[in-house]
């Protein structure tokens, strides 16, 4: 685990909300000089705490009107089966997140598509044809109550 002090946590809190903030503004917000702020941010990047920067896109503005969570159970659980499934998932653009789970299902996929027809084609042509898939259960998002833009940071 990376050793974070109060100033590091303050930097991370601002960067999670405003990833495009200028270094001078960031430095002012956390009471550092611009050069000290830049050194800290670079240290956090090198240490892997800051994994990267990205724009958050509005799915509706891109014509992606349907989000589904799909639980997947595999027939077998050997490394060959799980590796083949993971490789297939990584190749599907519609899958924006995939998590291996404990419990009665093996994976949880978050799938974002244009509409129900697009989802149906994804399900029938890709997911159900993937090697080793035994069962699939889908739930569609009616509305999003909370979608956090960042991670909860420890109290300083």
Within 8 A by CB and 6+ apart from 147, the residues are: none
pLDDT at 74: 95
Are 133 and 77 in contact by the 8 Å Cβ rule? The answer is: no
Residue 90, token pair as written in the block: 């990584």
Domains along the chain?
A: 6-46 (1.10.10.10), 60-140 (3.30.70.920)
**DSSP string spanning the chain?**
-----HHHHHHHHHHHH-TT--HHHHHHHTT--HHHHHHHHHHHHHTTSS----PPP-TGGGT--EEEEEEEEES--SHHHHHHHHHHHHH-TTEEEEEE-SSS-SEEEEEEESSHHHHHHIIIIIITTSTTEEEEEEEE-S--S---SSPPPPP-
Are 140 and 67 in contact by the 8 Å Cβ rule? The answer is: yes
Return the half-sphere exposure (C-beta side, CA atoms, 13 A cut-off) of residue 23: 10
pLDDT at 156: 61
Q: What pTM did the predictor assign?
A: 0.88
Q: What is the mean pLDDT of each run of 10 residues along the chain (156 residues)?
A: 92 95 97 98 97 93 98 88 93 97 95 98 95 94 92 85
pLDDT at 76: 83
pLDDT at 98: 98
pLDDT at 25: 98
Instruction: Please give the C-alpha separations between residue 147 and each of 70, 102, 144, in angstroms, as whole numbers.
Output: 18, 23, 7
pLDDT at 11: 97
């Amino acid at each position: 685990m990376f050793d974070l002090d109060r100033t590091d946590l303050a930097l991370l809190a601002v960067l999670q909300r405003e990833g495009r903030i200028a270094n001078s503004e960031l430095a002012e917000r956390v009471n550092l000089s611009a050069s000290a702020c830049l050194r800290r941010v670079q240290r956090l990047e090198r240490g892997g705490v800051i994994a990267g920067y990205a724009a958050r896109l509005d799915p509706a503005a891109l014509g992606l009107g349907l989000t589904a969570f799909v639980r997947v159970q595999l027939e077998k659980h050997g490394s060959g089966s799980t590796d083949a499934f993971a490789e297939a998932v990584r190749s599907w653009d519609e899958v924006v997140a995939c998590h291996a789970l404990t419990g009665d299902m093996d994976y949880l996929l978050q799938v974002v598509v244009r509409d129900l027809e697009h989802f149906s084609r994804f399900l029938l042509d890709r997911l159900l044809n993937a090697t080793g898939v035994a069962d699939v259960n889908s739930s569609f998002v009616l509305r999003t109550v909370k979608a956090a833009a960042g991670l909860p940071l420890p109290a300083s």
